[in-house]
Structure 1
Amino acid sequence: MKFQPDSIDVQSISGYGPGWISVGNEKISTSIVLGSRGERFEWNCDQFENLSEAHFAQLAALGTELIIFGSGDRIRFPNPAWIAPLVSRQIGIETMDVQAACRTYNILAGEGRHVAVALLMPSP
């Protein structure tokens, strides 16, 4: 039996560890947003306590069907006021730790869904 690795036609997360992810061969240790349609930008926040509605308004502007929010090394739910821009555009949001967010993003993006992952990578 011949085995072939799974591959998807969208940018995907190829690895992760404490405080970093890899996209292809590039190691990233800052907060970042990746989208299944090629969107990619630094998410200018390095601490959960510094998040605001403006950060989630950036995500709402992507117009995806779902935002996967990786809140760091543990699950921390965003303040309801922060996600108001997503709610007003009927964009779903799921919160999980960064590692689970990476896995979930890869699965949904690989299925062809219009999703984005916002990963909060706290600075040491």
Structure 2
Amino acid sequence: MKLHADKPDTHAITSYGEGWIAVNGQRHEGSLLLTSQGQLISWGCSRFEDLQADHFDRLAGLMSEPPEMVIFGSGTRLRFAAPGLLKGLMGQRIGVESMDTAAACRTYNILVGEGRRVVAALLIES
């Protein structure tokens, strides 16, 4: 009997460092949105202080079904987005977990491996 490793149809975060994240081995130096359905999209925000409600509002519509959870990677240190920025997600009963971006990368990989519907919003500050 031959055994084959499962190859998921989604992106995996393969490494990260200060100012970058590698997704499936390809290095990215700007903030990213990753979904468990395989989308990889530029987030368009490079500083925590510049985050607006519309940065978060678009996350609910990235997948064919709303995500169970949004993993927010807040940069090199843990910071929480103001509740007003998350109001749209909370109104749709989508959970938001905040952590530093390195922890968010690890958590995203675990949740995707479990088959969960998740979006990772990863802030990469330059």
**Normalising to structure 1: TM-score of the pair?**
0.91
Distance 2:60 2:11 in 1: 20
Distance 1:24 1:106 in 2: 11
Aligned residues between the structures: 120
Q: Which position in structure 2 is the counterpart of 1:94?
A: 97
**Cα offsets for 1:70-119 (capped at 9, x unmatched):** 00000010000000110111100000001100000000001100001000
Q: Which position in structure 1 is the counterpart of 2:53?
A: 53
Q: Does 1:24 align with 2:27?
A: no
Distance 1:27 1:107 in 2: 20
Q: Which amino acid aligns with 2:99?
A: M
Distance 1:70 1:20 in 2: 12
Structure 2: runs of 5+ lacking an equivalent: none
Q: Which amino acid aligns with 1:17?
A: G
Q: Does 1:11 align with 2:11?
A: yes
In the alignment, which of 46, 65, 69 is matched to residue 68 of structure 2?
65
Distance 2:91 2:69 in 1: 13
Greater mean alpha carbon deviation, residues 5-14 or residues 49-58: 5-14
Q: Which position in structure 2 is the counterpart of 1:111?
A: 114
**Cα offsets for 1:22-50 (capped at 9, x unmatched):** 01121001000000001221001010010
Q: Which position in structure 1 is the counterpart of 2:83?
A: 80
Distance 1:60 1:114 in 2: 11
Q: Which amino acid aligns with 1:115?
A: V
Greater mean alpha carbon deviation, residues 59-68 or residues 102-111: 59-68
Contact 2:9/2:38 (8 A) holds in 1: no
Tell me the percent identity.
47
Task: Give 4+ residue runs of structure 1 displaced > 3 Å after superposition.
Answer: 4-9
Q: CA RMSD in A?
A: 1.5
Structure 1: runs of 5+ lacking an equivalent: none
Distance 1:73 1:66 in 2: 21
